Amino acid sequence: MTPRRRTSLIVLVLVVVGLACIAWYYLLRDVPQHYKSEEDHYKYGSIGVEAASGMPYWIWRALPLVFPEKMPGPDYRSFGFIFEDGHETPVGMPLRTVGFQRIGINCGLCHTGSVRASAEAPRQIVYGAPNTTLDLQRYLRFLFACAGDPRFTADNILTAIRSMHELDWIEQVLYRFVVIPQTRKAILKQAHDLAWMDGIPDWGPGRNSPFNPAKVQILKRHYDGTIDNADIEPLWNWRLRKDFGLHADGLNNSLDEIFLNSGIGNGAGANSIDRASLMRIKHWIFDLKPERYPFAVSRSNSDIVVRGKGIYQAQCAGCHAFGGDKTGTSIPVEMIGTDRYRLESWSQDDADAFDALDGYAWRYTGFRKTSGYVAEALDGIWIRAPYLHNGSVPSLADLLKPPAERPAYFYRGYDVYDPDNVGFVSSGDDAVREGRKFDTRLPGNGNQGHLFGTALGDDDKKALLEYMKTL
Ligand code: HEC
Ligand code: HEC
């Protein structure tokens, strides 16, 4: 080789290596984030979703500017996300730089609740409680509609980004030719994978489909026609929940497996999943206690609470108190009589397919098929409304009524509390405006069954309700 050719070769290699370094820095460089407090970690800590399926933060910020007509309100709050002052992203949506800033999801998104004493009162955040306001499906549909719109172009998105934030010229080139087109493609793929959602009843606020998306996206199967819309469950007191059946039907009882599976199900990759971060959350929720009932409640030694406790111990504790014979186990659906769709959405074949997954650094062994719904411990039950696995009964007072007298429809997603009925306000102008209609006559939304306590006299029901506020 002549010296000249050798020099050109060296220059070429340097240019290629230089470009690769730039691409790595701007697209893939992973900057781990860390929160000192457990609460902040729970709300904003990454579990490794961003690298695999995070959304470019500045595109996320740009969408409401480019597509305001597709939003239910002026900003992302209108989907029911919980925002805290001083944070650009909602609780449960971590920011992490992987090349560029990306926004992900963590467990706190669905497992952090909120409550207000009145429409004017400040919102109190409740760690581990189900998020009753978040309408995730509506948010997904917003993203799908944006990506499907011909106005989702590099020019439009970059103009919106530039109105808020400066990108350097390398970022502009990469956004134009890589990041924006790839984001659009990824959202459209997700829309395609989840297209079946449109043929079945909506999730509505506080609910989602826990396993059907995973069957399509992880097991790579066609949608199987089932409906598994389910209410979010609480994450607290897990030390006391040792060996409980997990999820509505108890389809596994290994908390470790459900943690890993939830991480993957929410978009972490086999390699990007941050197991240390998940373990930190797991340890924290071991001893996390449910928030106490914040409204007036009779003193624990008052006659009414003592009477309520007696009824609870005689008629409910065997299935619902820690230490009860059946607490934490699946009770045959014939005995409970509640809506069967969620139970029937999960088969032995699904359990076997999850146990056979081999693309991870771990194997699942605990998935199984059960014949009913788990009788859960009722700690913090006051803030777990609406009730039953499908969230079909708005309040504890309604759950103690015979099914024919429970509301046939009501509004979910409003977080002002109704201390009289023990649940969230679910009717009236404010609930209609801020919530979404839930119709119990639709498939999967049935409010029948669970007749326990429905035959009690009015005074006994009152006493039982009063006692349950203290759980
Ligand atoms: C998109 C909302 C959403 C996110 C995000 C989410 N979950 Fe859940 N989670 C649910 C729903 C809904 C259920 C109940 C569904 C069912 O079983 O029918 C649930 C149930 C659970 C349960 C079972 C609780 C019980 O009492 O049986 C555990 C454990 C759990 N989630 C852990 C996690 C972890 C860990 C993460 C983060 C990696 C996470 N979840 C993220 C919606 C979510
Ligand atoms: C034989 C066992 C059993 C008995 C006894 C029983 N329950 Fe239940 N309970 C269940 C099961 C199973 C579920 C879950 C059903 C579902 O979600 O479809 C449930 C659900 C509930 C829920 C809803 C929990 C949630 O997070 O949505 C409440 C509240 C409740 N029961 C209260 C009571 C009260 C009060 C009594 C006594 C008057 C009682 N139960 C007696 C088995 C029982």
125 close to 114: Cβ distance less than 8 angstroms: yes
Q: How far is CA 397 from the centre of its chain?
A: 26
**Cα–ligand 2 centroid distance for 375 (angstroms):** 6
130 close to 110: Cβ distance less than 8 angstroms: yes
In a domain, 19, yes or no: yes
State how beta strands 372-374 and 409-412 pair.
unpaired
| Domains of the chain: total | 1
In a domain, 24, yes or no: yes
Tell me the CB-side half-sphere exposure of residue 423, using CA atoms within 13 A.
Answer: 23
pLDDT of 2 reads 85
Tell me the CB-side half-sphere exposure of residue 139, using CA atoms within 13 A.
Answer: 18
117 close to 64: Cβ distance less than 8 angstroms: no
Peptide bond into 386 cis (omega under 30): yes
Helix H or strand E encompassing 373: strand 372-374
- Angle of helix 180-193 relative to helix 154-162, nearest 10 degrees, comes to 110
In a domain, 26, yes or no: yes
> Could you tell me the residue range of the domain that residue 17 belongs to?
1-30
pLDDT of 29 reads 87
pLDDT of 299 reads 80
Q: How far is CA 67 from the centre of its chain?
A: 25
pLDDT of 26 reads 83
In a domain, 263, yes or no: no
Q: How far apart are CA 186 and CA 189, in angstroms?
A: 5
Q: What is the DSSP letter of 106?
A: -
| pLDDT digit string, tens, across residues 28-50 | 888 888 999 999 999 999 999 99
Choose among 168, 19, 179, 22: nearest CA to 102. 179
In a domain, 11, yes or no: yes
**Cα–ligand 2 centroid distance for 399 (angstroms):** 9
List all residues 6 or more positions away from 5 whose beta carbon is below 8 Å from its beta carbon: none
**Cα–ligand 1 centroid distance for 460 (angstroms):** 34
Backbone torsions φ then ψ of 31, nearest 5 degrees: -110, 100
In a domain, 12, yes or no: yes
Tell me the chain's radius of gyration from C-alpha atoms: 24
426 close to 412: Cβ distance less than 8 angstroms: yes
Size (the chain), residues = 471
Residues with C-beta less than 6 Å from any ligand 2 atom? 315-316, 318-320, 326, 331, 336, 338, 373, 375-376, 378, 381, 384, 387-389, 396, 399, 450, 452-453
Three-state secondary structure string covering 208-263: ECCCHHHHHHCCCCCCCCCCCCEECCCCCCCCCCCCCCECCCCCECCHHHHHHHHH
Q: How far apart are CA 352 and CA 251, in angstroms?
A: 11
191 close to 309: Cβ distance less than 8 angstroms: no
**Cα–ligand 1 centroid distance for 127 (angstroms):** 14
Nearest-atom index, ligand 2, CA of 468: 35
Ligand 1: residue whose CA is nearest its atom 36: 107
In a domain, 3, yes or no: yes
Q: Cα separations (Å) of 58 from 105, 157, 198, 336, 341?
A: 16, 9, 28, 48, 39
Nearest-atom index, ligand 1, CA of 209: 12
In a domain, 4, yes or no: yes
**Cα–ligand 1 centroid distance for 174 (angstroms):** 36
Give me the residues of the chain with pLDDT under 70, please: none
Residues with C-beta less than 6 Å from any ligand 1 atom? 47, 105-107, 109-111, 136, 208, 210, 230, 232-233, 235, 246-248, 255, 258-259, 262-263, 266, 342, 376, 389
